Amino acid sequence: MPQYYLLPGPPKPDANDYLCPVDSPLRYTAEDFTAALAADDYIARFRDAERIGAYCRSCPNYGRSWGCPPFGFSVEEYLAGYDSVLLVATKITPRIRNLPIAEAAAMIRPERIRLESRLLGMERLYGGRSFAYVGSCLYCPEGACTRPDGKPCRHPEWVRPSLEACGFDIGRTTSELFGLELKWGVGGRMPEYLILVCGFFHHAGNVIWNG
């Protein structure tokens, strides 16, 4: 019989959303790597708003999800004034090779729940501002975002933009700060590993990641 562990996260309607089977054919390992640097340094070296913004504008989620651009605020002001940034790269390695790419979501979702819960906890503990993940939102069913209907976000206390959405180059971030190259699937199959990158801008000095 499969065993399960409980993943922390904001309350959701279905408790099973928090359960990740550890004895399933889709099991994987997840490793968190961290890098800390001055916020101004990260912005100057790794933010390329024009080029990364062009990628966002070509995405079908552009303007249709509250976690995606364009935003109703100045991104430059949103990023300004923080002393430090803690970056976390999570490397997800399937235990079975060459799985269909469609199976990636089953590995990414529990890690996102874990990581985004930790980021929101750090905001409450230290203040600061967290940056989550590109792609679909965790907190509403797919295709149910209120933004296309011109209505406010249902969960503004949880939804955070990604670093990509704010113009940061994640490929350079992973390669230069973590020594990890982004991998892409070929022929409908998953790559050797997946990488998620999140960040926490803050004034709290030496913040320790405990994901």
Question: Could you give the percent of the chain with pLDDT greater than 70?
Answer: 87
Provide the 3-class DSSP secondary structure of residue 116.
helix
The answer to whether residue 119 scores a pLDDT higher than 90 is: yes
pLDDT-derived band at 152, boundaries 50, 70, 90: very high
> What is the number of alpha carbons within 13 Å of residue 119 lying toward its C-beta?
26
Strand 28-38 to 19-21 pairing: unpaired
Q: Is it the case that residue 21 has pLDDT exceeding 60? A: no
Backbone angles phi, psi at 5, to 5 degrees: -125, 155
Q: In this structure, what are the phi and psi dihedrals at residue 91, rounded to the nearest 5 degrees?
A: -100, 115
56-109 pLDDT, tens per residue?
A: 999 998 999 999 999 999 999 999 999 999 999 999 999 999 999 999 999 999
For the stretch 177-207, pLDDT in tens is 999 999 999 999 999 999 999 999 999 988 8
Bridge partners for 131 per DSSP: 199
pLDDT band at 20 (very low <50, low <70, confident <90, very high): very low
Q: What is the pTM of this model?
A: 0.85
